[in-house]
Amino acid sequence: MAIKVKLREKKISGKRQSLYLDFYPAIPHPITGEPTRREFLKMYLHDKAKNPIDKQHNKETLQLAEQIRQKRENHLNKPEIYTGYEKEQSKIKERSEKNFVEYFKSLADKRKASNHDNWVSAYNYLETFTKGNLKFADLNEKFCNDFKEYLLTTKSNKSNKVTLAKNSAVSYFNKVKATLKQAYKDGYLQTNLNTIIEPIKQAETRRNFLTIEELNNLVRTECNNPLLKRAALFSALTGLRFSDIKNLIWGELEYIEGNGYFIKYKQQKTKGIEMMPISEQAYGLLGERKEPTDQVFEGLAYSAYENKHLAKWIGLAGITKDITFHCFRHTYATLQLSKGTDIYTVSKMLGHRDLKTTQVYAKIISQTKREAADKIKLDL
């Protein structure tokens, strides 16, 4: 028996008529399963509309309600006419009602280690800006640009006295762009906003490094923390990050006859497996070999307290530059390039995935050469 679907009206408060569908015979309620004759559309008409605005509202509302009535009747009596396109449109509408902020959080939860922390930081700023509620349907170019401006002007969560660092804003906004790209792939967005939205331009950062003379001064200068000193010099000779040095175990060090010493390790940051040659001098900083699973620099730590030892050591060597542990990695890169090592080799030794990252050091070398050239001046 065919089910008839009628569009009916019911008086409600405010001189309005609420629209609902009347089914005959009754159909199962989509939630309770109990027979029901009514489905309220949450749409209303103005009772006895007189002004043009109310009349236009009634006309458009009735047209939309009639379209809904026809779809319900077709779905109940002739489900085969519901084409694949209509079903897909229904899915699209359902996805568009999902929460973008929650989707972002789900992607952040899949990240690991330091990358996870960076995603969580980005989520915190997004959650604050949106108050945790943003439908995919409300995502557009204006929102993205507004959030970009917010990141560039908001205070840092770490210190409410300073503005969020520009390069942090760059990183966090890139996480949003990556989420937009994934959302487009997953069908939550019908437009790939990621390709439309311009990223925040990276700020130029000064990368301090040591000259070979300054490095040798540090070799000759005592440090209150000998372990930290050996690790820093090892970084300058290998280009390894602090995290990779801290996690280095003896089983990752290998000697190949005729080729010398190598480190086989997984980078803490990029997770890439590297087989990197190191010099005998670098190996000599490691001390007595222990069990394969033992850490090479056991007990190595880097904190505000340990940083005082580093700063004192730097000062005693007569160096006035602002040097952090990571500057020893910068030192390795700049010294290699200044000694003529090609940029591709340096990039591979540093474990960079993108040559553009290494090109920053090439700019430093060019600037250093310029400064050197300008030091010689004649009284002409």
**Residue range 313-370, pLDDT digits in tens:** 999 999 998 888 988 988 888 888 888 888 788 777 777 766 676 667 666 666 665 5
What's the chain's average pLDDT? 85
Measure the CA–CA gap between 194 and 177, rounded to whole angstroms. Answer: 5
Which CA distances in Å does 130 have to 123, 137, 139, 185? 10, 14, 11, 23
Cβ-contact 359, 343 below 8 angstroms: yes
Q: Are 315 and 298 in contact (CB under 8 A)?
A: no
pTM of the model: 0.50
In order, the DSSP letters of 75-113 are HHH-GGGS-HHHHHHHHHHHHHTSBHHHHHHHHHHH--H
Cα-flanking dihedrals φ and ψ of residue 108, to 5°? -65, -40
Two tokens, residue 107: 């992607």
In sequence order, what are the beta bridge partners of 9?
19
| pLDDT score, position 270 | 54
Question: Residue range 185-204: average pLDDT?
Answer: 86
Confidence at residue 213, expressed as pLDDT on a 0 to 100 scale: 92
- Length of the chain (residues): 380
77-117 pLDDT, tens digit per residue, is 876 555 555 666 677 788 889 999 999 999 999 987 657 88
Q: CA-CA distances (angstroms) from residue 148 to 144, 169, 290?
A: 6, 8, 51
Element containing residue 279 per DSSP (H, E)? none
Whether the predicted pLDDT of 3 surpasses 60? yes
The reported pLDDT for the residue numbered 81 is 55
Q: What residue spans of the chain are helical by DSSP H? A: 52-77, 84-96, 100-110, 113-130, 141-153, 166-185, 193-196, 212-220, 226-238, 242-246, 280-284, 304-316, 327-338, 343-350, 355-373
CB 280 within 8 A of CB 260: yes
pLDDT attached to residue 115: 76
Question: What would the pLDDT profile of 9-51 be if each residue is shown by its tens digit?
Answer: 999 988 899 999 999 999 888 777 788 999 999 899 998 888 8
The whole-angstrom separation of Cα 288 and Cα 265 is 20
Residue whose pair of structure tokens reads 């056991």 in the numeric block:
298
**Number of other residues whose CB lies within 10 A of the CB of residue 33:** 8
Q: Round to whole Å and give the CA distance between 131 and 134.
A: 8
- Residue-wise pLDDT tens digits, 249-291: 999 998 888 889 998 866 555 556 667 889 999 999 998 999 9
User: Quick check: 53 pLDDT over 60?
Assistant: yes
* CA 69 and chain centroid, separation: 45
